[in-house]
Amino acid sequence: MTEQTSKPWAGRFTEPTDAFVEAFTASVGFDQRLFRHDIAGSKAHAQMLAHVGVLSEAECQQINNGLDQVLAEIESGQFQWSVSLEDVHMNLEARLTALIGDAGKKLHTGRSRNDQVATDIRLYLRDEIDSIQVELKRLQTALIDLAEREHDAIMPGFTHLQVAQPVTFGHHMLAWFEMLVRDAQRLADCRKRVNIMPLGAAALAGTSYPIEREYTAKLLGFDGVSENSLDAVSDRDFAIEFCAAAALLMTHLSRFSEELILWASAQFDFVDIPDSFCTGSSIMPQKKNPDVPELVRGKTGRVNGHLVSLLTLMKGQPLAYNKDNQEDKEPLFDVIDTLRGSLKVYADMMASLLIKRDNMERAALQGFSTATDLADYLVRKGVPFRDAHEVVGKAVRLGVETSRDLAEMDLAELQKFSDVISEDVFEVLTLQGSVSARNHIGGTAPAQVKAAAARARSRLM
Ligand code: ARG
């Protein structure tokens, strides 16, 4: 970055800014990523000023062309960013003025960097939410595809990470899908509050020029204008809300990650994560590590941390704008980058995940996963549930002692526990019988999973 000394606000100052303070207070190193939205906001503001007669049409045209040139310079890497011009807003305005002269100096009429920056972040975040939703939908689609394909693959379902009851793999995928549906809804809901225009609030109290805020809002695609100027320039709740939605989404991805890491281990061996998503070890030749899910699990920590940063940033601030708010950007940007990256890699990884159906089914045969089915069978034959529970518990104990599953005992043995048991018991003791019996909306039966996957596809936003 080159040094440039003329600060737009230098009029009342007699001494130059201390060199370290200049660097310490500057945000251009990180807020320059707002340049596109800053330019779009400036163009709309200039057009509105011309519309109400504060700028001439010719001045507006000059500003437009000048901003196009600034944009081209930035995009081609020729733009000289200057730390002494503090932030993206003053850098762009200074360059515009250098290019077009007096008309450039008129652009800031009726606005302040306070409403400008709030507008920029909202425009930027709105676009980012839209592109995050695209990645999220890709991941959801990959889960639905897996659920459809594996609607009848049987795996052990766990509670307390102990084998509980058999479930279908497709059902398990759709559980993840449901979490992501709520995440998409949260983001869409947050977007409504992001898409409100602060411009016109100026520094804090509004402006004495005859501005038409609705006009600018329409040009920028905002759904409405902020009702209160003090609120508009000061609160960052929309960014906090986004980070909260992101933290929940990352928390969901982190849970998926934990499962994938377990499933890819030699002990579970339920799935194979393709080589392209794994790395090896520099010392242990046999290793293939599930780095992608591990990193996503790890990155969840920093997203959660950024949420707390922003909450803490906000909590002590009196109305209206305070420079503290400049600290909103790095956490917010990092949340956006981390979330979008995590979703992208997850969508790709899930689309190429290999499922080891035989291993999952074998694992489901361990741990007496059909014990509940035997209890339900006894209940159907008139045994009260609590008694049935006790009977099956005893049968399980025999199984543990003799290292056999319930289905491996013969009829006479089972009948010692209850005389209502007959030959038809062996149907309910199979994995297929167990999952197929859970045949209602939200249940794990293959037919239900297939139908749920079809509904899921039509529910995609
Ligand atoms: N870079 C500043 C920020 O991000 C822009 C607003 C500065 N306003 C001011 N009055 N110093 O918040």
Distance from Cα 86 to the centre of ligand 1, integer Å: 9
Q: Cα-flanking dihedrals φ and ψ of residue 131, to 5°?
A: -75, -30
Distance from Cα 321 to the centre of ligand 1, integer Å: 8
Pocket lining: 27 vs ligand 1, CB cutoff 6 Å: yes
Pocket lining: 117 vs ligand 1, CB cutoff 6 Å: yes
Q: For residue 325, give the ligand 1 atom closest to its CA.
A: 12
Which has the closest alpha carbon to 302: 262, 346, 239, 243? Answer: 243
> Hey, how many other C-beta atoms are within 10 angstroms of the C-beta on 184?
19
82 in helix, strand or coil?
strand
Angle made by CA atoms 94, 98, 104, in degrees to the nearest 5: 70
> Hey, how many other C-beta atoms are within 10 angstroms of the C-beta on 164?
16
Pocket lining: 43 vs ligand 1, CB cutoff 6 Å: no
Name, in order, each residue with C-beta under 8 angstroms of 3's C-beta and a sequence gap of 6 or more: 82, 83, 84
User: How far apart (Å, rounded) are the C-alpha atoms in residues 380 and 125?
Assistant: 57
Residue 169 burial (C-beta neighbours within 10 Å; 0-12, 13-18, 19+)? buried
Pocket lining: 254 vs ligand 1, CB cutoff 6 Å: no
- For residue 151 the two structure tokens come to 């609607």
Distance from Cα 180 to the centre of ligand 1, integer Å: 35
Distance from Cα 36 to the centre of ligand 1, integer Å: 17
Strand 196-197 versus strand 224-225 pairing type? parallel
Which of 85, 87, 317 is the pocket-test mutation for ligand 1 (most atoms within 8 Å of CB)? 87
440 in helix, strand or coil?
coil
What does the pLDDT profile of the chain (461 residues) look like in tens digits?
A: 444 447 888 888 988 989 999 999 999 999 999 999 999 999 999 999 999 999 999 999 999 999 999 999 999 999 999 999 999 999 999 999 999 999 999 999 999 999 999 999 999 999 999 999 999 999 999 999 999 999 999 999 999 999 999 999 999 999 999 999 999 999 999 999 999 999 999 999 999 999 999 999 999 999 999 999 999 999 999 999 999 999 999 999 999 999 999 999 999 999 999 999 988 888 888 888 999 999 999 999 999 999 999 999 999 999 999 999 999 999 999 999 999 999 999 999 999 999 999 999 999 999 999 999 999 999 999 999 999 999 999 999 999 999 999 999 999 999 999 999 999 999 999 999 999 999 999 999 999 999 999 999 999 97
Q: What residues act catalytically?
A: 160, 281
Pocket lining: 436 vs ligand 1, CB cutoff 6 Å: no
Distance from Cα 326 to the centre of ligand 1, integer Å: 6
Pocket lining: 325 vs ligand 1, CB cutoff 6 Å: yes
- The confidence score (pLDDT) of residue 279 equals 84
Q: Which helix (H) or strand (E) holds 73?
A: helix 57-75
Which has the closest alpha carbon to 120: 214, 224, 233? Answer: 233
Which has the closest alpha carbon to 249: 166, 180, 200, 308? Answer: 180
Which has the closest alpha carbon to 435: 445, 427, 425, 443? Answer: 445
Which of 9, 22, 27, 113 is the pocket-test mutation for ligand 1 (most atoms within 8 Å of CB)? 113
Q: Residue with the nearest Cα to atom 12 of ligand 1? A: 326
Distance from Cα 9 to the centre of ligand 1, integer Å: 12
Q: Which helix (H) or strand (E) holds 164?
A: strand 162-168
- The confidence score (pLDDT) of residue 7 equals 85
Q: Residue with the nearest Cα to atom 3 of ligand 1? A: 326
Strand 271-272 versus strand 354-355 pairing type? antiparallel
- The confidence score (pLDDT) of residue 2 equals 46
Domains of the chain: 10-109 (1.10.275.10), 114-361 (1.20.200.10), 362-451 (1.10.40.30)
Which has the closest alpha carbon to 293: 253, 241, 239, 332? Answer: 253
Instruction: Characterise 162 by phi-psi region: left (phi > 0), alpha (psi -120 to 50), beta (else).
Output: beta
User: How far apart (Å, rounded) are the C-alpha atoms in residues 305 and 455?
Assistant: 36
- The confidence score (pLDDT) of residue 282 equals 83
Which of 117, 125, 330 is the pocket-test mutation for ligand 1 (most atoms within 8 Å of CB)? 117
Instruction: Characterise 394 by phi-psi region: left (phi > 0), alpha (psi -120 to 50), beta (else).
Output: alpha
Q: For residue 113, give the ligand 1 atom closest to its CA.
A: 6
Read off the DSSP letter of residue 267: T
Pocket lining: 253 vs ligand 1, CB cutoff 6 Å: no
Pocket lining: 113 vs ligand 1, CB cutoff 6 Å: yes
Distance from Cα 55 to the centre of ligand 1, integer Å: 25
> In angstroms, how far is CA 115 from the centroid of its own chain?
27
Torsion angle (degrees, nearest 10) of CA 244, 246, 252, 255? -90
Q: Residue with the nearest Cα to atom 4 of ligand 1? A: 326
Pocket lining: 326 vs ligand 1, CB cutoff 6 Å: yes
Distance from Cα 91 to the centre of ligand 1, integer Å: 13
β-pair partners for 157: 165
Pocket lining: 87 vs ligand 1, CB cutoff 6 Å: yes
Task: With 0.85 as the threshold, say if the pTM is over it.
Answer: yes
In order of 28, 80, 93, 188, 393, the CA distances from 19 in angstroms are 15, 19, 22, 43, 76
User: How far apart (Å, rounded) are the C-alpha atoms in residues 375 and 355?
Assistant: 31
Q: For residue 88, give the ligand 1 atom closest to its CA.
A: 1
Distance from Cα 393 to the centre of ligand 1, integer Å: 68
Residue 403 burial (C-beta neighbours within 10 Å; 0-12, 13-18, 19+)? exposed
Which of 31, 310, 319, 326 is the pocket-test mutation for ligand 1 (most atoms within 8 Å of CB)? 326
Which has the closest alpha carbon to 407: 370, 444, 440? Answer: 370
Q: Residue with the nearest Cα to atom 2 of ligand 1? A: 326
- For residue 189 the two structure tokens come to 């809901």
HEC-encoded secondary structure of 309-368: HHHHHHHCCCCCCCHHHHHHHHHHHHHHHHHHHHHHHHHHHHHCCEECHHHHHHHHCCCC
